[in-house]
């Protein structure tokens, strides 16, 4: 069964360092998302991406965040200068249909900022 894969599963970094989280969405999907979940809290939308551009972003997704689909298969989330409050589980998701099909989530990348 096709699935969304994310790497790394866990990354520990120092405050101020750049981090790149990688995702491989399901191959024929067209819509891509990043969500995050701070430990014990709800899942929060960060950004959606379609047709090689951001289609929507939340207030959380400020200038230190960026997304890219560099090669037609990977979908990356970059945090330029990490802060302690960026520590969270980051979920990538993809969706294939044009009209509100379910999102398929990866298993998440846990980011710990020290």
CA distance 38 to 41: 5
Nearer to another protein, 5 or 15 (CB): 5
Task: State the residue for tokens 């980051």.
Answer: 90
72 sits near another protein (criterion: CB under 8 A):
no
Q: How far is the CB of 85 from another protein (least distance, A)?
A: 19
CA distance 15 to 71: 29
According to DSSP, the residues that pair with 28 across neighbouring strands are none
Among 23, 26, 77, 103, indicate the residue that binds another protein (CB under 8 A): 103
Among 20, 50, 69, 76, indicate the residue that binds another protein (CB under 8 A): 50
The site that binds another protein (CB under 8 A) totals a number of residues, namely 27
Name the pairing type of β-strands 109-113 and 10-13. parallel
Q: Determine the interface stretch with another protein among 19-27, 61-69, 73-81, 86-94 (rule: CB under 8 A).
A: 86-94
Among 19, 21, 33, 67, indicate the residue that binds another protein (CB under 8 A): 33
Of 106, 85, 114, 109, give the one whose Cα is nearest residue 21.
109
CA distance 44 to 48: 12
61 sits near another protein (criterion: CB under 8 A):
no
């Amino acid at each position: 069964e096709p699935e969304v894969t994310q790497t790394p599963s866990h990354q520990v970094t120092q405050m101020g360092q750049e981090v790149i989280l990688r995702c491989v969405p399901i191959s024929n999907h067209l819509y891509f998302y990043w969500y995050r979940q701070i430990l014990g809290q709800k899942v929060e939308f960060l950004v959606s991406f379609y047709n090689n551009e951001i289609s929507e972003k939340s207030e959380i997704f400020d200038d230190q965040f960026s997304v890219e689909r560099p090669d037609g298969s990977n979908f990356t989330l970059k945090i330029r200068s990490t802060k302690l409050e960026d520590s969270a589980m980051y979920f990538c998701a993809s969706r294939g249909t044009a009209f509100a099909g379910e999102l398929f989530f990866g298993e998440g990348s846990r980011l710990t900022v020290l």
